[in-house]
């Protein structure tokens, strides 16, 4: 059994000693797919690095490949459909950083509703007063719309309901109404979420179906007083459409942790907008990295011991590989 880690040995910050007892662990430090293509030929398990997307070409070259384990919740850098077709399972570390992302999301919502970063900037220039006083709003009792009711979406809803007495709406075609009702919310259409919410928070994975699922049409449905928050993946929102809607005050603001292209371009208009607060993809707090690594390490160890891995994100690999 060979495990290929697409990273330099010294930089992976993983204690792979358990794997080393059960398999041959090799490293490939590469910034592009060329190096990976050579070494993946006889690998059974691939641990992708952060730089090289795992394309259909790389997956096809892995003649013995059985498992791809990403050390994150987002798995959009792996062509999981190509993996499914070849009978290769793709696993993530789902759920391991939900609390961390939920805390950041709430920090952003509160920060934008009360214009906290603007107030802080004002103080630092020696002034005293409110930043954009007319835009400051109360969250208490308002409507929170959650797009994607998974591990993070549910926590966001729970906090909104319990801490801020919010009315919870959610759009997620893969959950049943009862799942949302347990959290005191209502399962509705995307259109209802966009039209009725004061805060729309995005928590879906990036995929072919979710890329640009929030565009000019959906943003245009929102109340002019509402804000949108994205701590999932940048390309779920059409960024050009978002910029236009913010410039024209179609919506009241955006709070962003993720962007279509990261790092965000230095000249992006988002950087100079008063109705935007943003951070640089910091959803996972460093304290949580250990928990994520543990989840990934344990999952590969399970596979090596012949136990079914957890958090398989492309269960269709069984069906697709047989057809
Ligand atoms: P999850 O898998 O638990 O939940 C995702 C939910 O989205 C599921 O309930 C699923 O049914 C739903 N969904 C899928 N496609 C949908 C669609 N087309 N429309 C509506 N709902 C849909 O994942 P999670 O742990 O809640 O994480 C959500 C996303 O957050 C991840 O995929 C990742 O991209 C992102 N994330 C970002 C950071 C960060 O640092 N900012 C950290 C962790 C996760």
pLDDT of residue 322: 66
Q: How far is the CA of 284 from the centre of ligand 1 (A)?
A: 14
Reported pTM: 0.93
Q: Where are the domains of the chain?
A: 2-95+286-318, 98-278
Q: Which atom of ligand 1 is nearest to the CA of 205?
A: 32
Predicted local distance difference test score (pLDDT) of residue 97: 94
H-helix or E-strand spanning residue 45: strand 45-47
Distance 233 CA to ligand 1 centre (A): 9
98-278 carries CATH number 3.40.50.720: yes
The ligand 1 atom nearest the CA atom of 284? 40
Q: What residue's CA is closest to ligand 1, atom 12?
A: 148
Cβ–Cβ < 8 Å for 142, 169: no
Contact 111, 137 (CB under 8 A): no
Distance, CA of 37 to CA of 211 (rounded, Å): 28
Determine which residue's CA is closest to atom 5 belonging to ligand 1: 150
298 is catalytic: no
In angstroms, what is the span from residue 153 Cα to ligand 1's centroid?
Answer: 8
Distance 106 CA to ligand 1 centre (A): 16
- Give the model's pLDDT for residue 11: 78
- What is the reported pLDDT for 71? 94
CA nearest 219: which of 233, 239, 234, 189? 239
Ligand 1 shell residues, CB under 6 Å:
73-74, 94-95, 97-98, 101, 147-153, 171-175, 203-206, 209-210, 231-233, 257-258, 281, 283-284
pLDDT of residue 108: 98
Nearest-atom index, ligand 1, CA of 203? 28
Q: Is 19 exposed, middle or buried (0-12, 13-18, 19+ CB in 10 A)?
A: buried
Give pLDDT < 70 ranges for the chain: 321-323
pLDDT at 29: 86
If DSSP codes are grouped into helix, strand and coil, which group holds residue 321? helix
Active site residue 196: no
Point out the catalytic residue in the list 218, 233, 260, 311. 233
CATH 3.40.50.720 assigned to domain 2-95+286-318? The reply is yes
Ligand 1: residue whose CA is nearest its atom 40: 283
For the stretch 241-277, what's the b/e string if a residue is b when 16 or more beta carbons lie within 10 angstroms of its beta carbon? Answer: bbbebbeeebbbbbbbbbbbeeebeeebebeeeebbb
> Is 181 one of the catalytic residues?
no
Indicate which residue's Cα is closest to atom 33 of ligand 1.
74
Order across the sheet with 45-47: list the strands.
24-27, 2-5, 45-47, 67-69, 89-91
| 269-286 pLDDT tens trace | 999 999 999 999 999 999
User: Mutate which of 150, 229, 234, 296 to test ligand 1's pocket (most atoms within 8 Å of Cβ)?
Assistant: 150
The three-point CA angle 23-28-32 to 5° equals 140
The pLDDT, as a whole number, for residue 227 is 98
- pLDDT at residue 197 in the model: 98
| Pairwise CA distance, residues 35 & 49, whole Å | 12
Sort 120 into a burial class: Cβ within 10 Å, 0-12 / 13-18 / 19+.
Answer: exposed
Question: Cα of 232 to ligand 1 centre, how many Å?
Answer: 7
Contacts of 188 (CB under 8 A, 6+ apart): 169, 170, 171, 196
Q: Find the 315 Cα to ligand 1 centroid distance in Å.
A: 16
- Whether the Cβ atoms of residue 1 and residue 22 lie closer than 8 Å to each other: yes
User: How far apart are alpha carbons 137 and 15 in whole angstroms?
Assistant: 47
Closest protein CA for atom 42 of ligand 1: 283
**Listed residue (76, 16, 74, 73) closest to 45, CA to CA:** 16
DSSP H helices, the chain, are 17-22, 33-39, 56-61, 80-85, 98-113, 116-124, 151-164, 177-181, 190-196, 216-221, 239-247, 286-304, 317-322
Q: Tell me the C-alpha distance between 93 and 79, whole Å.
A: 17
């Amino acid at each position: 059994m060979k495990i290929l880690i697409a990273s330099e040995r010294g930089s992976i910050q993983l204690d792979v000693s358990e794997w080393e007892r059960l398999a041959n662990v090799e490293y490939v430090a590469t910034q592009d797919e060329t190096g990976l293509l050579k070494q993946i030929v006889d690998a059974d398990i691939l641990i992708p690095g952060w730089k090289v997307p795992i394309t259909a070409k790389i997956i096809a070259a892995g003649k013995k490949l059985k498992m791809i384990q990403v050390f994150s919740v987002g798995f959009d850098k792996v062509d999981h459909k190509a993996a499914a077709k070849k009978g290769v399972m793709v696993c993530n570390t789902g759920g391991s950083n939900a609390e961390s992302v939920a805390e950041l999301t709430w920090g952003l919502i509160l920060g934008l509703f009360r214009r906290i970063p603007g107030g802080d900037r004002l103080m630092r220039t020696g002034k005293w007063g409110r930043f954009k006083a007319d835009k400051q709003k109360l969250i208490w009792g308002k409507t929170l719309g959650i797009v994607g009711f998974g591990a993070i979406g549910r926590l966001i809803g729970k906090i909104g309901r319990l801490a801020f007495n919010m009315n919870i709406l959610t759009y997620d075609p893969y959950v049943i109404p009862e799942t949302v009702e347990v959290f005191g919310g209502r399962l509705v259409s995307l259109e209802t979420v966009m039209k009725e919410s004061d805060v729309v928070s995005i928590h879906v994975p990036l995929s072919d179906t979710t890329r640009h699922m929030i565009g000019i049409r959906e943003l245009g449905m929102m109340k002019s007083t509402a804000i949108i928050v994205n701590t999932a993946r940048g390309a779920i929102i059409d960024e050009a459409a978002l910029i236009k809607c913010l410039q024209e005050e179609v919506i009241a603001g955006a709070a962003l942790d993720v962007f279509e292209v990261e790092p965000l371009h230095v000249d992006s208009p988002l950087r100079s907008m008063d109705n935007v607060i943003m951070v640089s993809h910091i959803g996972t707090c460093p304290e949580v990295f250990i928990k994520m690594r543990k989840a990934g390490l344990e999952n590969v160890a399970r596979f090596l011991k012949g136990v079914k891995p957890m958090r398989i994100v492309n269960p269709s690999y069984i069906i697709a590989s047989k057809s």
